[in-house]
Amino acid sequence: MKLYITTPSPFSRKVRIVAHEKGLADRIEEIAVDPYANAPELLATNPVVQVPTLIAEDGLPLTDSPVIAEYLDMIGSGPRLLPADGAERLRVKRLETLANATLEMGVKLVLEKRRPEAERSPSWMDRWTFNMGRSLDALEAAAPSAEDFNMGVLSAGITVSWVSFRHPDYDWKTGRPNLVALQAALEQRPSFKATTPV
């Protein structure tokens, strides 16, 4: 399998962590690309040129980190990170979706800050910052625990680590002890250590 990534991408990190947790890392060739330069090999498999993109074992390209992560979860070994069905699946998916939404707000802020200052929208940046904070509050209230390791919990852990990495001046830790504890615990896992963003 081939996995197109950028190492700073939290969405790439998510599927890389799942690959490690499910014993698949040695079956996946990681290929670092620049999606903003329309990397030809990525464009050939993903028309919107986004990472991560996985070329599955049957040659089918898979895009969108939740889809890729679920595929790897299904074909890998060990306990399922995403329950197959029922109320427990919805509980885990809700947390995963909330973490992804938090990341989306943060990514929008990063991209806006890359624009020339005269082209930036202060009102949108304020809105995305506010929404990111509210989403972090909702993650805190959900009290994800590293002991209940699943797709939602690992997504929450990736989220707070990425916010620290990309928004070092944003104080996400104050008033969020559950998330602080989660990050500290998860970053000790071998899968997290192996995928630290650079």
Tell me what the mean pLDDT of segment 178-189 comes to: 98
C-alpha dist (Å) from residue 156 to 50, 75, 124, 180, 181: 21, 23, 24, 11, 12
3-state SS, residue 103: helix
Tell me what the mean pLDDT of segment 102-107 comes to: 98
Tell me what the mean pLDDT of segment 99-108 comes to: 98
- pLDDT tens-digit series, residues 118-171: 999 999 999 999 999 999 999 999 999 999 999 999 999 999 999 999 999 999
Mean pLDDT for all residues in the chain: 96
Q: What is the pLDDT of residue 70?
A: 97
Q: Give the pLDDT band of residue 43 (cuts 50, 70, 90).
A: confident
Q: Which residue has the higher pLDDT, 129 or 49?
A: 129
b/e 13-41 (16+ beta carbons within 10 angstroms → b): bbbbbbbbbbebbeebebeebebeeebee
Give 68: exposed, middle or buried? Use CB within 10 Å, 0-12, 13-18, 19+: buried
The radius of gyration of the chain's CA atoms, rounded to the nearest angstrom, is: 17
Share of residues in the chain with pLDDT > 90 (%): 91
First to last CA, the chain: 23
Q: What is the pLDDT of residue 198?
A: 79
Tell me what the mean pLDDT of segment 71-98 comes to: 96
Q: What is the pLDDT of residue 182?
A: 98
Report the range of poorest mean pLDDT among 35-44, 81-90, 115-124, 135-144: 35-44
Q: Give the pLDDT band of residue 15 (cuts 50, 70, 90).
A: very high
Q: Is the dihedral of CA 178, 109, 54, 91 positive or negative?
A: positive
pLDDT of 83 over the 90 cut = yes
